[in-house]
Amino acid sequence: MAVGPDPFAAMTAFNRFGLGARPGDLAAAAGDPRGFLLEELHAPGSGRIEPGDLIASPQALQMFFADQQQQRIAREAAAMAAVAPMPAANAMAEPAMAGKPVEGKPKPAEPPAEQKIFRAEAMARFKAQLDASCGFVERLVAFWSNHFAVSVAKGQFIRVTAGAFEREAIRPHVLGKFSQLLIAAESHPAMIFFLDNQRSIGPGSRAGRFDAKGLNENLAREILELHTLGVGGGYSQEDVTALARIITGWSFAEAGGETGEPGSFFFKTNWHEPGAQTLLGKTYAQEGRAQGDAALLDLARRPATARHVASKLARHFIADDPPADVVDALTKTFLDSDGDLGVVCAALIAHDRAWSAPATKIRTPSEFVAAAMRATGFALSEPGQALGLLNALGMPLWQPAGPNGYPDTVAAWASPEQMKLRLDASWQMAQRARDVGSPLSVLDTASGLAASRETREALQHAESRQQALALLLMSPEFQRR
């Protein structure tokens, strides 16, 4: 059912579901806000980023492996030089060289490969957010990327793969079947490394009989607790151990290349726990990787998973305490459609409560920065400024504190300290937004007729254009969604 010409519904489409309006966007959506969102959902290739100059995970990891090898060689050479006696001829020559002037300026060091890869992936993500018609699909990408969180705080391995993980494992499946999204995320080298599954050895496997490292349950535990069933989803410690055994062998090819293209997924047969395994009362007798695929497919179809996903979606888009009727409707749609996320999202858009519920949520720092750039028409030429703002606001890109991702509650992002950081960030952005016209025109872009009288008056009485823009970015219409 179309909402009809409604400035408030158009703003809801861009704020609650999207990433904020750009000039002209509100008028385009006002006639049929729900249809506007559905059009973005059904657009060919929606959510995907074409690789272009971006490189795939295996190539990124091969650069990382090569860099590690060079550093190892350099360390060994330095260690050998430290213990080796200095030849007499060199010892004589050294003092003469010490005073030799350096000709010209030193050549700037080339940025490390991992830095170039990370910035290229970040730029692609920011550009996709700015170019999106509404930003609903980009919000879904960020939602699922946070649901299947990896963190660059783990080290360079994740820093070179975090962007590719989102682009390769998340984006192609945000509007497809949850089961395929689940398998793609759990089998990606970034997730395997982040949760240490490359170290997990089946105790009864050929490798396990000669190695004391044993089983690592990190990935299995997070699959059950965070990615599928959720806390209270009816699993036990025995199920965690069973799933850990089922996915032993899920790893990636190392630098040597003996097991496949370095950096690509590789199933280590010798590390896989042999025999049938029982998970949540069902026995899986498949051999090799097929055992893990079958278990994940079943987990993706469980009612507890459907409710966990439905609750998180409703909490993200509507309220910290999501309306029970919306959660019930999304859970039923998830189960009826075999976890078709595009159908579930369409059901969310169709639910009247999703449009009528008060705007109690606050934009996350990532959403706030994207919305500010969209409203002011910010010409992003490099990712540094946006990355810096996200760091300052406490939400550095692809760097949550743990596998549970960034929090998705008002309390987490609306504290007095957070508001102070947002005010500082708003002032910075207002100072740099020099070609955006009057602040009132930006307010019309972002909120249209839904802008409050109080906000308009505050902008009109501001002491400077920069102050007015900063007030606009801090206004309830801009912060709430």
Tokens of 100: 């030799």
Burial class of residue 215 (count of CB atoms within 10 Å of its CB; 0-12, 13-18, 19+): middle
Could you give the dihedral angle defined by the CA atoms of residues 414, 418, 424 and 425, in that order, rounded to the nearest 10 degrees?
A: -80
Range list of H helices, 207-321: 218-222, 237-246, 289-300, 303-317
Q: What is the mean pLDDT of residues 421-448?
A: 90
- Host H or E run for residue 180: helix 178-186
Domain-embedded: residue 91: no
Q: What is the mean pLDDT of residues 103-120?
A: 77
Domain-embedded: residue 177: no
Residues 283 and 216 in one domain: yes
Domain-embedded: residue 53: no
Q: Which of the two residues, 330 and 8, has the higher pLDDT score?
A: 330
Residues 397 and 471 in one domain: yes
Domain boundary among 301, 320, 344: 301
pLDDT digits (tens, 9 = 90+) for 331-353: 999 999 999 999 999 999 999 99
Residues 310 and 371 in one domain: no
Residues 445 and 378 in one domain: yes
Domain-embedded: residue 148: no
CA dihedral (438, 441, 445, 447) positive or negative? positive
CA atoms within 13 A on the CB side of 357: 28
CA distance 126 to 142: 11
Domain-embedded: residue 190: no
Domain boundary among 356, 372, 396: 356
Range list of H helices, 226-270: 237-246
Domain-embedded: residue 76: no
pLDDT at 82: 78
Domain-embedded: residue 447: yes
Residues 374 and 473 in one domain: yes
Residues 283 and 203 in one domain: yes
Q: Are 434 and 180 in contact (CB under 8 A)?
A: no
Domain-embedded: residue 135: no
pLDDT at 98: 41
What domain range is 335 assigned to?
303-356
- Host H or E run for residue 68: helix 57-83
Long-range contacts: 267-271, Cβ < 8 Å, 24+? 268/207, 270/205, 270/206, 270/207, 271/200, 271/201, 271/202, 271/205, 271/207, 271/208
pLDDT at 105: 56
pLDDT digits (tens, 9 = 90+) for 229-255: 999 999 999 999 999 999 999 999 988
Tokens of 380: 């992003």
Distance from the Cα of residue 181 to its chain's centroid: 14
pLDDT at 210: 82
- Host H or E run for residue 420: helix 416-432
Per-position b or e across 115-132, b if 16+ CB within 10 A of its CB: eebbbbbbbbbbebbbeb
pLDDT at 113: 85
Q: How many domains, in total, are found in the chain?
A: 3
What confidence category does residue 93 fall into, taking pLDDT thresholds of 50, 70 and 90? very low
Residues 342 and 376 in one domain: no
DSSP for 12-48, written as a single string? HIIIIISS-PPTTHHHHHHT-HHHHHHHHHHSTTTT-
Q: What is the mean pLDDT of residues 182-194?
A: 98
Q: Are 360 and 410 in contact (CB under 8 A)?
A: yes
Q: What is the mean pLDDT of residues 193-217?
A: 91
Indicate whether 282 pLDDT > 50.
yes
Q: Are 189 and 264 in contact (CB under 8 A)?
A: yes
Residues 204 and 256 in one domain: yes
What confidence category does residue 87 fall into, taking pLDDT thresholds of 50, 70 and 90? low
What confidence category does residue 99 fall into, taking pLDDT thresholds of 50, 70 and 90? very low
pLDDT at 396: 98
Indicate whether 76 pLDDT > 90.
no
Residues 427 and 453 in one domain: yes
CA distance 462 to 439: 10
Q: What is the pTM of this model?
A: 0.92
Q: Are 372 and 429 in contact (CB under 8 A)?
A: yes
pLDDT at 67: 84
Q: What is the mean pLDDT of residues 12-22?
A: 97
pLDDT at 54: 96
Residues 307 and 284 in one domain: no
- Host H or E run for residue 373: helix 365-376
Domain boundary among 301, 320, 345: 301
Residues 285 and 323 in one domain: no
Indicate whether 102 pLDDT > 50.
no
Indicate whether 462 pLDDT > 90.
yes
pLDDT at 107: 60
Residues 372 and 473 in one domain: yes
Could you give the dihedral angle defined by the CA atoms of residues 131, 132, 133 and 137, in that order, rounded to the nearest 10 degrees?
A: 180
Compute the mean pLDDT over every residue in the chain, rounded to the nearest whole number: 91
Tokens of 260: 């496949």
